[in-house]
Amino acid sequence: MATVAVSMAGLLSLSACGGGSDKTESGGQAAAKKVEVFSWWTGPGEADGLKAMEAIFAKQYPQFSFFDAAVAGGSGDQARALLSSKLQANQPPDTFQGHAGAELQGYIKGGKLESLNFLYDELKLKSVFPQQLIDQISVQGQVYSVPVNIHRSNILWFNPSVLKTAGISAAPKTVDEFIADLDKVKKAGKIPISIGSQWTLVHLLESTLLGSLGTDAYNALWTANADWSSADVTKALTNFKTILSYAGTPQEDWQPAAKQVADGEAAFNIMGDWAYGYFHNPPDGGLGKASKTDFDWAPSPGTDGTYLWLSDSFTLPKGAPNRDGAIAWLKVAASKEGQDAFNPKKGSIPARKDADKSLYTDYLAWDLDQWSTDKLAGSIQHGVVANDAWRTAINDAVGLFQQDQDVAKFQTALADAAKNSGQ
Ligand code: GAL
């Protein structure tokens, strides 16, 4: 596995060099020097936001050319594994997307990133991002990345017509109501809840834990006093098992699972709000669907009033081949213009506090409002509360549970994962 990853990294950097940056064009004029931007935003919905920011970068920095080193796969499970082998081999891209929180803290503590205090001072960024976000990307007073957005994980997407056919008049508010509704949909002959690849189950698990345990108990799971062996966790995992028993055939990734809702094949899908970009963006990248008619949303059951958050941020790896180009990219990612181009397409809200609110309409207006009033809880799958080793162990436990459906074994595996995380 490691060998494959390293050789893929080699290939990637070779093909990246093939993008040819320091060459001289026939006219003698130096070609723009490439900036390798590593992310996992390749699929429908995901790529639209990146393209919007790339357009601004191209306009503002013609001396650099954007090189898209994105690696396919929702939530970046493949990308994150490849990135880690590239960093180990001291072959960093010029900049990479990383999640604010425990995931980024791993890179910081591992000495992989340059401090960006110089950029924060130059652009006066400390006052434009929320303090709790700055804390998640800092160590000992040094800030190590530029957050470009805030995403919400705990959203229940649903198809209003399918709910109507099943006799459901409003989105379920509690986990118990949700389970009762799943059963109604099953009886109506539709897929009650659509799912994608394994990481989408970890995503479903985090909403189920939050909705079953409540915010304080969920947040306590990531502290030194965590009790993963409690009866309340057993109940939450039993709920997870029940919900999964209503799931359709696992789809390849989050997009085809979300599409089953948009197409009226499935009633519900629990997914982050990148799904909004996918549903809503015009058909060249998204599905061009109308909100409230073709799809609708509610906080995932039992989580109203809590924002299960995550944030994508860009970094400056030590040894970046084109450091100046990476800094130029970070300046665009940090800017109001960059964030206001990126986020409406990405289905996220800006990390900056001073963004142009009029650009965030429909779901995104609701989202902005919730972000400013809700309590906070951090995402598991998307890097906030658990470091990479812990998240991987949770992923493995979920994979085994999918096969054996043994709640007791699952709970022990999760308790062990917490004990051995080293966090
Ligand atoms: C998350 C990422 C989002 C979105 C999602 C699905 O981890 O933070 O920006 O891309 O995965 O791929």
Could you please report the per-residue DSSP string of 62-89?
Answer: TTEEEEE----SGGGHHHHHHHHHHHHT
**Distance, CA 74 to ligand 1 centroid (Å)?**
6
**Distance, CA 30 to ligand 1 centroid (Å)?**
36
364-393 per-position pLDDT tens digit: 999 999 999 999 999 999 999 999 999 999
Q: What is the pLDDT of residue 32?
A: 86
Mean pLDDT of the chain: 93
Q: Which of 40, 254, 310 to mutate to test the pocket of ligand 1 (most atoms within 8 A of CB)?
A: 40
Nearest CA to ligand 1 atom 2: 75
d(CA 161, CA 288): 17
Task: Provide the CATH topology of domain 152-308+381-419.
Answer: D-Maltodextrin-Binding Protein; domain 2 (3.40.190)
- Tell me whether residue 8 is exposed, middle or buried, using C-beta atoms within 10 angstroms of its C-beta: 0 to 12, 13 to 18, 19 or more: middle
Instruction: Mark the ranges of the chain whose per-residue pLDDT is less than 70.
Output: 1-30
Q: What is the pLDDT of residue 334?
A: 98
Q: At what angle do helices 388-404 and 198-213 cross, to 10 degrees?
A: 90
Domain 35-151+310-371: CATH class, spelled out: alpha beta
d(CA 397, CA 378): 20
Which CA distances in Å does 56 have to 31, 38, 95, 328?
Answer: 19, 17, 17, 11
15-52 per-position pLDDT tens digit: 333 333 343 344 445 688 999 999 999 988 889 999 99
- Domain ranges in the chain with CATH number 3.40.190.10: 35-151+310-371, 152-308+381-419
- Tell me whether residue 308 is exposed, middle or buried, using C-beta atoms within 10 angstroms of its C-beta: 0 to 12, 13 to 18, 19 or more: buried
Nearest CA to ligand 1 atom 1: 75
**Distance, CA 76 to ligand 1 centroid (Å)?**
7
Q: What is the pLDDT of residue 162?
A: 98
* Ligand 1-lining residues (CB < 6 angstroms): 40-41, 46, 74-76, 99, 151, 254, 272, 274, 310, 312, 382
d(CA 79, CA 81): 5
Q: What is the pLDDT of residue 214?
A: 98
**Distance, CA 310 to ligand 1 centroid (Å)?**
9
**Distance, CA 81 to ligand 1 centroid (Å)?**
15
Q: Which of 312, 313, 348 to mutate to test the pocket of ligand 1 (most atoms within 8 A of CB)?
A: 312
